[in-house]
Amino acid sequence: MSSANAKHPELSTIFNKDEARVDWHDETLWWIRQKRDKAAWTIPEWEELRETASGIKNNVLSNLHEYLIEFEQKAIANGIVVHWAADANEHNEIIHSILQQHKVSQIVKSKSMLTEECGLNEYLAQHSIDVVDTDLGERIVQLANEHPSHIVLPCIHWKKEEIGELFHKHLNTPKGNADPQFLTNAARIHLREKFLTRRIAITGVNFAVAETGEFVVCTNEGNADMGAHLADVHIACMGIEKIIPQRKHLGVFLRLLARSATGQPITTYSSHFKKPNINQQLHIILVDNGRTVQLGREDFRNSLKCIRCAACFNTCPVYRRSGGHSYHTAIAGPIGAILAPNLDMKKYADLPFASTLCGSCSNVCPVKIDIHNQLYKWRQVITEEGYSPKTKTIAMKAMAATLSSPAIFNVAGKAGRWVMKYLPFFVNNRFNPWYKQRNMPAPPQQSFTQWYKKNRS
Amino acid sequence: MKSRETILNAVKNNQPALQQLPELNALIAIQYNDKFLQFSTVLKTIGGNVVEIKHTDEIIEYVKNNFSSNQNFVTTLPVLNNIKMLDENLDAHFLENIELAILTALFGVAENGAVWLTDKEIKIRALPFICQHLAVLLYKRDLVSNMQMAYDLIGENNHEFGVFIAGPSKTADIEQSLVLGAHGPKTMTVFVLE
């Protein structure tokens, strides 16, 4: 990332410098979107399934207080230690204090977007704790000192030759070897040693069941299980919105999650943790970090229904061609663009504008979040609050003035056609944001008004 | 515990009016006439092996022919008398060199090729993840069509740990090239017994 304050348009420009790479990124994600479609079509009741999942999540949000208390009670009865964290900092402190109690300075962590959101790795690094991310994609970006660019496919922006080079540098693989099978095996050997020697493992949580106090973690690699079952202490981190009412509801969500994410019928492992392993401590941290505020925003609360499948990323024409890092937040893509402004409206004011509002995200969302409507609503809130991007504000004001006065509209139309015809360089230049990545259209010979007068009156 | 009260109060104040929980019985989930055909087709697509057997002796025969001998094999099935029984008291870290673990599954799910095991079948939680190759025994009669029926079967069972496993451990993180054997088993074989 170029600078701390760079926004989506600037960051996309960096990503767009390599056009062939952008095409490759775009096509790879679209291929995953197509796999999602094929998987969905094998289930005749797919739409009812989405409707049911959406209904369950609506119920969860409307009864979250009771479900959280029920989950806590059941989890404690199961022998799990339950912690509550109001914000990212408290979440990080709780983890650090558990590590200190056990005098542990090296840990393994499987994929948890919440810990990304909370900046856990950076926090623990400052306290001299060595964290090894064990999901292969996450390990790759971690070795490269980057963040995941996608919540399900963390290194989707990396080419295998670059990964080969990275592994050569860090894992001593032979230079020039870029074979995925070979590189994966090198990572397997490297990470097995970590699983076998680290005494504390952190995992995320996909679903937590109020009725039973158990939680479910889904992976394909088996890294969450390898970490959790081989450690003395397992710490699971979850946002408070991950609760579902009853165990039987897992049937609905597990049918939707992997099909929506990658087109698989189910993830390889769907592990149900109910009680601690023998001689093991099991901790759960329930994290708010802005979620209760979002719950109170009527227009935006149902963004909390998200199950983090990333179907909206894969289908989004803007995400596919701008890359995950252009969103400068832990959760990129359309869903990230409606979650982030809740955390910091000024810092993320650009994100709801990083969309064509085509609505494809809402159409693939397994829990029917109206993502594109929320993007549109955030734009209004952000503009009202005075955080909208400057150039857009000026352009919009000029547009409003032009459209509200027929006289100005006529003059402006004539002027525009004249400029495009005789002074094309005036619009075909880098100061016109519309000219970027696009050719300006040929100017029409006459305006619609002129045409209408000639042909219809 | 201050944050607990803060969070719970904020949730209570901000949560919308109660919305009814949908009735799951109203959702008619797909059923398959030939559950075994569906199960084996899906499991093979996601990298698993399916072996139909008439008798458990065939497991021993299959293992002999398909896995190199003199290896570290364990099982939790007393019926497989040629294969070493798992020592349940073993520290999980010593399972790292297990070449093949043969366990038993409670049931399988036709729609996604997954099998369900709990700590009672696994004995040591790390076992099905740390072994180099995994095999499970499944009775053909224990196949259900879909995940809703799967959770009807699990019901209120008081497992301490339970897992759906669908195929070998895998990753496609390097340029979307599928690689079997990410951290866990490189192969998964399901012996389906008539």
* Nearest-Cα residue of chain B relative to residue A80: B160
Q: Does A38 touch chain B (CB under 8 A)?
A: no
Distance in angstroms between the alpha carbons of the first and the last residue of chain A: 58
What confidence tens digit (pLDDT) does each residue in A341-381 have? 999 999 999 999 999 999 999 999 999 999 999 999 999 99
A346: closest CA of chain B, how far (Å): 23
Of A69, A252, A268, the CB nearest to B166: A268
Chain B residue numbers touching A255 (CB-CB < 8 A): 29, 111-112, 146-148
Residue B168: both structure tokens together? 């070998």
What confidence tens digit (pLDDT) does each residue in A312-340 have? 999 999 999 999 999 999 999 999 999 99
- Please tell me whether residue A414 adopts helix, strand or coil conformation: helix
DSSP state letters, A20-81: HHHHHHHHHHHHHHHHHHHHHHT-TTHHHHHHHHHHHHHHHHHTHHHHHHHHHHHHHHTT-E
* Nearest-Cα residue of chain A relative to residue B125: A229
User: CB distance B171–A184 less than 8 Å?
Assistant: yes
Residue A277 has pLDDT above 70, yes or no: yes
Residue A2 has pLDDT above 50, yes or no: no
pLDDT (0 to 100) of residue A1: 41
User: CB distance A136–B181 less than 8 Å?
Assistant: no
- The percentage of chain A sitting over the pLDDT mark of 90, rounded to a whole number, equals 83
Of A250, A251, A275, the CB nearest to B160: A275
Choose the weakest-confidence range: A215-229, A423-437, B53-67, B139-153. A423-437
DSSP tag of B85: B
| Segment A255-274 mean pLDDT | 98
pLDDT (0 to 100) of residue A271: 98
Choose the weakest-confidence range: A3-17, A95-109, A232-246, B151-165. A3-17
User: CB distance B14–A56 less than 8 Å?
Assistant: no
Predicted TM-score of the model (pTM): 0.94
* Nearest-Cα residue of chain B relative to residue A255: B147
pLDDT (0 to 100) of residue A414: 84
- The percentage of chain A sitting over the pLDDT mark of 70, rounded to a whole number, equals 98
pLDDT (0 to 100) of residue A415: 84
Residue A162 has pLDDT above 60, yes or no: yes
Choose the weakest-confidence range: A95-104, A435-444, B84-93. A435-444
**CB proximity under 8 Å: A 390-449 to B:** none
pLDDT (0 to 100) of residue B69: 66
Residue A270 has pLDDT above 50, yes or no: yes
| Segment A409-415 mean pLDDT | 84
User: CB distance B16–A251 less than 8 Å?
Assistant: no
Residue A171: both structure tokens together? 């894992």
User: CB distance A52–B10 less than 8 Å?
Assistant: no
User: CB distance B171–A137 less than 8 Å?
Assistant: yes
Average pLDDT, chain A: 94
- Please tell me whether residue B81 adopts helix, strand or coil conformation: coil
Q: Does A73 touch chain B (CB under 8 A)?
A: no
CA distance linking residue A46 with residue B111, whole number of Å: 13
Q: How many residues does chain A have?
A: 457
pLDDT (0 to 100) of residue A260: 98
What confidence tens digit (pLDDT) does each residue in B15-56 have? 999 999 999 998 999 999 999 999 999 999 999 999 999 999
Are A154 and A137 in contact by the 8 Å Cβ rule? The answer is yes
**CB proximity under 8 Å: A 202-261 to B:** 220-223, 225-226, 229-230, 240, 245, 247-252, 254-255
What confidence tens digit (pLDDT) does each residue in A282-309 have? 999 999 999 999 999 999 999 999 999 9
pLDDT (0 to 100) of residue A241: 98
Residue A411 has pLDDT above 70, yes or no: yes
Q: Which residues of B6-40 are buried (b: 16+ CB within 10 A; e: fewer)?
A: ebbebbeebbeeeeebbebeebebbebeebbebbb
Indicate if ipTM > 0.95.
yes
Q: Which amino acid is at B91?
A: D
Residue A14: both structure tokens together? 């960096």
B62: closest CA of chain A, how far (Å): 24
Interface mutation vs chain B, best among A184, A242, A249, most B CBs within 10 Å: A184
To 5 degrees, how large is the angle CA B185–CA B190–CA B194? Answer: 170
Residue A418 banded pLDDT, cuts 50, 70, 90 = confident
Q: Does A199 touch chain B (CB under 8 A)?
A: no
Q: Which residues of A386-397 are buried (b: 16+ CB within 10 A; e: fewer)?
A: ebbbeeeeeeee
What confidence tens digit (pLDDT) does each residue in A36-54 have? 999 999 999 999 999 999 9
Interface mutation vs chain A, best among B18, B153, B183, B187, most A CBs within 10 Å: B183
Residue B70 has pLDDT above 80, yes or no: no
